[in-house]
Structure 1
Amino acid sequence: MAKPVANQLTGRLIDVIRHRPSRLFILLAGFFVANAIVAELIGVKIFALEDTLGLSPWDFNLFGESGALQFSAGVLLWPFVFVITDLLNEYYGERGVRFLSYLTVGLILYVFAMIYAAISLNPADWWVSQSVANGVPDSQAAFAVTFGQGMFIIVGSVTAFLLAQLTDVFIFQRIKRRTGEKWLWLRATGSTLVSQVVDSFVVLYLAFKLGPEIVGGLIEPWPWSRLLAVATVQYVFKFAMAIIMTPAIYLAHDWIDRYLGPDVAADMKATARSAE
């Protein structure tokens, strides 16, 4: 009896893989989760945009703060996050985005738990000094500094990510229910511009304002002027990228509609729009 049951389960799995809406969800979900985790890992690096592009420093002045355009390396993934989030909103609705958002937060926390466990392992003596010739005198210290982000940065990051995603899907679906299939650019870009206000400000507030104030004395809390200046610069960058990536949204929608077939695509969009 066991063999027929096993064959039946295998057959169902194959059917799921062959089922194009399911396969599309797996593809989008994989990129969604991967982007979020990679952004967390590379986000500790701050780069100078003008130097990277070979331009003279802008030296902006906002809220009494001045400086060059400097961003977390995590913004490299932002264009992909923008497109994937829109596609998930469009074809799988609030339930799909909420499910993936909660799952991603759980996986990010799991990743950092494993990283902290790895940091706590006693390193081999030869490994600590293996990169001295390359300018890294202590590989253990470099590993800990690179991957061991402060706890409030992690909390701020995952909180901002979750709030931004839930805000994005809420705004997206409300716009879509009012406009139907018209004005794709409005629901895609509009929801993003609102949600990224949350993302840009919440993560900095929790990580560099509230967190240090709670800890007390270990890290100097950012003044409001710096927090608002940095958050505004990052938001303007995301705003510009959302506008630039709008044509990619149309191209991705066109490809998916052809991949799924017009009837299946239309049914999925209608279900995503009507589902609570």
Structure 2
Amino acid sequence: MRQLDDRAVRLFIALAAFFCANAVLAEFIGVKIFSLEGTLGIAPVHWRLLGEGGTLDFTAGTVIWPIVFIMTDTVNEYFGKRGVRLISWLAAGLVAYAFLFAYIAIQLAPASWWVGSAQNQGVPDYQAAFSAIFGQGMWITVGSLTAFLIGQLVDIHTFHHIRRRTGERHAWLRATGSTAVSQLVDSFVVLYIAFVLGPQHWPTSLFLAVASLNYAYKMLAAVALIPLLYLARAGIHRYLGEARAQELIRQAAADPAQPPHTFPLD
């Protein structure tokens, strides 16, 4: 059988592609800050924490990151630590590649007619708008990539630590538990690098308050998406067949020093 005829190989390619697409997309749409209350059509919620306050405003990237959590746990379940490491490094490389060419595109001299072509849409300077949207600051980019990679590595080890203690029971526990730990790290690392070490120099109270709020939001979203985890699991078992799905799960849970026999990842 040719390798691409193997359903497990096809499944890994599909999961990896979807994971990377979501990771890159989350980075680029994250430049927009949206109002959760306005989106839901409810009155503003004025929170107070550590002497800081505000309303429920988040980056648009938080809408899609919970999907990335689900994808991470799904790959972890069936392809183990090496599978998640592979897609994590691939996604980080693609994000860096995308930001590099966004920067190059910003530096290209704009056509004079194009700069003012969207004035009727309320955009007087298309080049300035393009630069503002795609030219996220270096500190934000570095913080985001660093937090993503650290969070993924923490997620991998936490997931398998819980799995060793619970066996194949409670898929929701290892998925939510690993997300809880990894996103605790991610939420604080990205803001610390981007806004404390970066040029804005946020005070400690603001940093801790905003990071805590972002973490709470991510965890609520992760819990709400638990049914999606089980839906994905059911679809994979139907696609692979119960015997093959269980074989992959056993291999994923095995000692990572022992390479899987039917689906090597490197």
Offset at residue 141 of structure 1 (A): 0.5
Q: Is structure 2 residue 63 aligned with structure 1 residue 76?
A: yes
Q: Does 1:189 align with 2:176?
A: yes
* Residue aligning to 1:232: 212
Q: 1:40, CA displacement in angstroms?
A: 0.7
Question: Which 4+ stretches in 1 moved above 4 angstroms?
Answer: none
Distance 2:48 2:226 in 1: 29
Aligned partner of residue 196 in structure 2, secondary structure: helix
- Which residue of structure 2 lines up, in the alignment, with residue 269 of structure 1? 249
Q: Which amino acid aligns with 1:179?
A: T
The size of the alignment, in residue pairs, is 256
Hey, what does 2:164 align to over in structure 1?
177
Aligned counterpart, 1:50: 37
CA–CA separation in structure 2 for the residues paired with 1:78 and 1:148: 21
Aligned counterparts of 2:97 and 2:111: Cα–Cα separation in 1: 25
Number of the residue aligned with 1:112: 99
Q: Compare the two structures and name the one with the higher helix fraction.
A: 1
For 2:141 and 2:69, locate their aligned partners in 1 and report how far apart those are by CA, in whole Å.
21
Paired with 1:26 and 1:264, the residues of 2 have a C-alpha distance of 17
C-alpha distance in structure 2 between counterparts of 1:48 and 1:108, whole Å: 26
Name stretches of at least 5 consecutive residues in structure 1 with no aligned partner.
1-11, 213-219
Deviation at 1:16, TM superposition (A): 2.8
Spell out, residue by residue over 1:75-117, the C-alpha distance to the aligned partner (whole angstroms, 9 max, x if none).
1112311221111010011001011111111111111110100
CA RMSD of aligned residues (A): 1.0
Structure 2: give runs of 5+ residues left out of the alignment.
257-266
Is residue 31–residue 136 contact of structure 2 (8 Å, CA) maintained in 1? Answer: yes
Q: Following TM superposition, by how much is the alpha carbon of 1:267 offset from its aligned partner in structure 2, in angstroms? A: 1.0
Higher gyration radius (CA): 1
Map 1:3-42 → 2, pairs under 5 A: 15-42=2-29
- Say if 2:224 is the partner of 1:244: yes
Please tell me the residue identity of whatever aligns with 1:239.
M
Deviations 1:134-179 (A, max 9, x none): 1111100100001000001000000000001111011001111222
**Whole-Å separation in 1 of the counterparts to 2:52 and 2:155:** 30
Alignment TM-score, normalising by the size of structure 2: 0.94
Residue in structure 2 matching 1:153, options 119, 125, 140: 140
| Identity level (%) | 54
